[in-house]
Amino acid sequence: MARTIEFDRNKVLQDAMQLFWIEGYRGCSVSDLVAATNLKPGSIYGSFDSKEGLFLESLDYYAKEFISNLIDTLRQSETPLSGIENIVKNISGQTLSKHHPLGCFLINTVVEATPDDMQILESANKHLETVEEILYVALLEAKESGELTSLQDAKVLAKFLMVNIWGLRVLAKTNPNKESVKAVVGQLLEVISGNKQ
């Protein structure tokens, strides 16, 4: 009877996620993952089937935390629109933080993926669609509460926010200056606030 592989799965996913986040999917070898997770190759394959399997679970781990933080920010904000503004401000703060120089793991994955990485691309896009849906629902609530005009298209604005959030996340990897980020965020928030009644 095969011996049960015992390890802290969340710790392994966190360690693997950090390595994938820094090096990208193709930049990591199985030996790199062995060093990062302290698992033997057989344990990685036995528990995750493949390097891709470990990557997909790491991506899910990241997305779950990111989406949870997004929802918490909206819930803790006074209004739906202020929640969205807080999300944008949080992301802009991360863009300038020395503790967040890697951008967004989901967006990095989409940028790196090739047509051969269909399962990885589908997984990242699924999570990004969830983020967009969360923003869309918040914008609908903002319309219902009178924070946005009835003429504003919540779906278009949600897409607009996603494009700008993507941009801020990619910008984080370029070591941007504070003035540039502040100008971009100011313009974004101006567009949002400009649709208030």
User: Given a cut of 90, is residue 33 above it in pLDDT?
Assistant: yes
pLDDT at 63: 96
pLDDT, one tens digit per residue, over 174-195 is 777 788 888 888 888 888 766 4
Which of 69-78, 90-99, 163-172 is predicted least confidently? 90-99
Nearest to 67 by CA among 133, 166, 157: 133
pLDDT at 197: 39
User: What whole-number distance in Å separates Cα of residue 154 and Cα of residue 142?
Assistant: 9
Which CATH code, of 3.40.190.10, 1.10.357.10, 3.40.50.720, 3.30.420.140, is assigned to 60-193? 1.10.357.10
pLDDT band at 104 (very low <50, low <70, confident <90, very high): confident
The residue extents of the domains of the chain are 60-193
User: What whole-number distance in Å separates Cα of residue 21 and Cα of residue 124?
Assistant: 13
pLDDT, one tens digit per residue, over 160-178 is 999 988 888 877 777 777 8
CA dist list (Å): 63 to 58, 116, 146, 148, 182:
9, 22, 31, 29, 26
Handedness of CA 98, 99, 102, 106 (dihedral sign): negative
187: how many CB neighbours lie within 10 A of its CB? 10
